[in-house]
């Protein structure tokens, strides 16, 4: 037997990696992150203007607001914050007949574990976000806009404050923008460091100075009853940046980037056990899960094999490396995928039983203790629950207690079923989607790695695991 074949048999993961490298994969197409890693590019307005900044705002202010909305609708761009709802459709739902003020909010509360794309945009190209927001604000005729930023992003808040001052001095926001009759003020609002503020109605409550308990929908859909009970649009940082590029290309041209129902580019954040973690911008659907792990991120460390992937931040269901995913896509196409075959768009991870979420891909190799990983996730959600709904308030604490006990060598064989029972009683029984976000990881970890949970009952007691 040749040395090559012997190496392949001993390390099949390495062979998969080498075979995939031979295949030509899509090149990164940086639109939003065009200047993110350019050493000659700064986040000041001078640099932004030299690169053609604010030209699309000038163009947009010469159009009717509804014309901008139509371009965004034609583009097919979907929200990049997690839900993937079409941005243009969300704008269509806006109550324009109430006579109340209209507000625009940028959700910059990037708190999903595994996600770090929005921070890059705000730090490195803040004026891109401001221009996108001003175009969006004009399109919906908002006179006041907010950037709600995560409390821990101290530097990001400073950068945005400075950028807004620069934009106001040049007439790009504030009173009578660029000499027109349209005015819109822009304010950075720092949150209080709570994950629940990423939920749009919890964010609105926080912005009003209240405890961020999410609102019941209906009737409190932000487009109708949002900030101060007025019509409000809440969009993610990446989504609003896309508005500028939609106006530059035109909605029809933008819709041809990516694939149908998955238009534009997406920024993927890859962390975990890969050689080259980081953030990458590709056309939607241009890559598969295997290509981003092995080709873009350099694969796993030598001698290691893939165990699992969380495709969309910690709230997404985990996928085993050795399982098969079969079914039909929305267009009727049948699929039979391994984990490496899953398309990186909105629909691929969902078809595989998970979701693309906020674009945070967490890779776990065979060195990861899946029960301890689950314990860490449970500790996070137990800490971040707002406590408004009893199933969530009590359930996440019980899941944390059970997994912490298991990791301390005090596991019982029935704990796996107990965990699953608690998670099942949270899902679908809460006001907001936090309940699902907390339940889905536990449901998927326990169902797919049951043997690992059972083994914990047979291990000797050890010091308590230090959880986050």
Strands 360-365 and 265-272: parallel
Alpha helix stretches (DSSP H) within 408-459 = 415-426, 434-448, 450-456
Q: Is 124 part of a structural domain of the chain?
A: yes
Name the domain count of the chain.
3
Task: Give first-to-last CA distance, the chain, whole Å.
Answer: 49
DSSP 295: I
State whether 419 and 358 are in the same domain: no
State whether 120 and 243 are in the same domain: yes
Q: Are 399 and 393 in contact (CB under 8 A)?
A: no
d(CA 216, CA 201): 9
State the Cα torsion 330-334-339-343 to the nearest 10°.
-50
State whether 231 and 297 are in the same domain: no
Last residue of a domain, one of 320, 337, 365: 365
Q: Which residue has the tokens 């907010």?
A: 146
Q: Is 37 part of a structural domain of the chain?
A: no
Measure CA 95 to chain center.
27
State whether 207 and 61 are in the same domain: yes
d(CA 372, CA 108): 30
State whether 231 and 185 are in the same domain: yes
By three-state DSSP, how is residue 270 classified?
strand
Give the number of other CB atoms < 10 A from CB of residue 46.
Answer: 9
pTM over 0.85: yes
Q: Is 14 part of a structural domain of the chain?
A: no
Q: Is 379 part of a structural domain of the chain?
A: yes
Q: Is 15 part of a structural domain of the chain?
A: no
Last residue of a domain, one of 190, 225, 256: 256
Q: Is the pLDDT of residue 126 over 70?
A: yes
Q: Average pLDDT over the chain, rounded to whole?
A: 92
Q: Which residues pair with 106 in a beta bridge?
A: 147, 235
Last residue of a domain, one of 318, 345, 365: 365
CA nearest to 385, candidates 357, 426, 355: 426
Q: Are 57 and 178 in contact (CB under 8 A)?
A: yes
Query: Quick one: pLDDT band at residue 332, thresholds 50, 70, 90?
Result: confident
State whether 387 and 452 are in the same domain: yes
CATH number (domain holding residue 149): 3.40.50.11540
Q: So what's the pLDDT on residue 25?
A: 86
Q: Is the pLDDT of residue 6 over 70?
A: no
State whether 160 and 220 are in the same domain: yes
Q: Is 304 part of a structural domain of the chain?
A: yes
Q: Who contacts 152 (Cβ-Cβ below 8 Å, separation ≥6)?
A: 193
CA nearest to 151, candidates 95, 110, 211, 97: 110
Q: Is 39 part of a structural domain of the chain?
A: no
State whether 227 and 134 are in the same domain: yes
Determine the structural domain holding residue 179 and report its residue range.
Answer: 45-256
State whether 108 and 190 are in the same domain: yes
Q: Is 149 part of a structural domain of the chain?
A: yes
What does the pLDDT look like over 229-274, one tens digit per residue? Answer: 999 999 999 999 999 999 999 999 999 999 999 999 999 999 999 9
Measure CA 447 to chain center.
25
Q: Is the pLDDT of residue 464 over 90?
A: no
Q: What is the token pair recorded at 129?
A: 């976000």
> Which phi and psi (to 5°) does residue 319 adopt?
-120, 130
CATH number (domain holding residue 299): 3.10.20.600
Angle of the 154-169 helix axis to the 126-140 helix axis, nearest 10: 60
What does the pLDDT look like over 185-222, one tens digit per residue? Answer: 999 999 988 999 999 999 999 999 999 999 999 999 99
State whether 77 and 153 are in the same domain: yes
CATH number (domain holding residue 449): 1.20.1440.230
State whether 209 and 248 are in the same domain: yes
State whether 215 and 118 are in the same domain: yes
């Amino acid at each position: 037997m040749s040395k090559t074949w012997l190496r392949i048999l001993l390390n099949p993961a390495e062979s998969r990696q080498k075979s995939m490298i031979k295949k030509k994969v899509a090149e990164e197409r940086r639109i939003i992150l065009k200047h993110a890693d350019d050493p000659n590019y700064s986040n000041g307005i001078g640099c932004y203007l030299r690169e053609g900044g604010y030209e699309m705002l000038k163009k947009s202010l010469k159009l009717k607001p509804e014309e901008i909305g139509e371009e965004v609708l034609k583009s097919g761009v979907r929200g990049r914050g997690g839900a993937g709802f079409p941005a243009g459709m969300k704008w269509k739902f806006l109550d324009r007949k109430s006579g109340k003020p209209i507000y625009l909010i940028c959700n910059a509360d990037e708190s999903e574990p595994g996600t770090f794309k929005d921070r890059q945009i705000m730090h490195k190209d803040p004026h891109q976000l401001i221009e996108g927001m001003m175009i969006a604000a004009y399109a919906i005729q908002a006179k006041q806009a907010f950037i709600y930023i995560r409390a821990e992003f101290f530097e990001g808040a400073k950068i945005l404050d400075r950028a807004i001052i620069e934009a106001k001095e040049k007439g790009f926001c504030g009173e009578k923008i660029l000499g027109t009759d349209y005015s819109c003020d822009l304010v950075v609002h720092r949150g209080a460091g709570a994950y629940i503020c990423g939920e749009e109605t919890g964010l609105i409550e926080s912005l009003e100075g209240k405890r961020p308990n999410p609102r019941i929908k209906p009737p409190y859909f932000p487009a109708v009853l949002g900030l101060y009970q007025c019509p409000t649009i809440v969009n993610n940082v990446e989504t609003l940046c896309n508005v500028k590029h939609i106006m530059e290309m035109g909605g029809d041209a933008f819709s041809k980037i990516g694939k149908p129902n998955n238009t534009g580019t997406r920024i993927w954040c890859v962390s975990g056990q890969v050689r080259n973690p980081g953030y990458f911008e590709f056309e939607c659907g241009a890559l598969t899960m295997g290509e981003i792990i092995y080709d873009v991120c350099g694969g796993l460390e030598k001698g290691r094999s893939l165990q699992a992937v969380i495709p969309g931040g910690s709230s997404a269901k985990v996928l085993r490396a050795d399982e098969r995913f079969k079914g039909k896509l929305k267009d009727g196409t049948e699929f039979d995928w391994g984990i490496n075959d899953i398309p990186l768009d909105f629909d691929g991870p969902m078809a595989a039983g998970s979701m693309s979420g906020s674009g945070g891909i967490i890779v776990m190799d065979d060195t990861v203790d899946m029960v301890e990983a689950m314990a860490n996730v449970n500790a996070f959600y137990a800490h971040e629950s707002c406590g408004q709904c009893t199933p969530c308030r009590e359930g996440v604490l019980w899941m944390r207690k059970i997994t912490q006990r298991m990791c301390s060598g005090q596991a019982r064989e029935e704990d796996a079923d107990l965990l699953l029972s608690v998670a099942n009683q949270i899902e679908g029984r809460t006001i907001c989607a936090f309940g699902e976000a907390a339940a889905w990881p536990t449901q998927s970890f326990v169902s797919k790695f049951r043997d690992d949970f059972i083994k914990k009952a047979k291990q000797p007691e050890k010091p308590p695991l230090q959880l986050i």
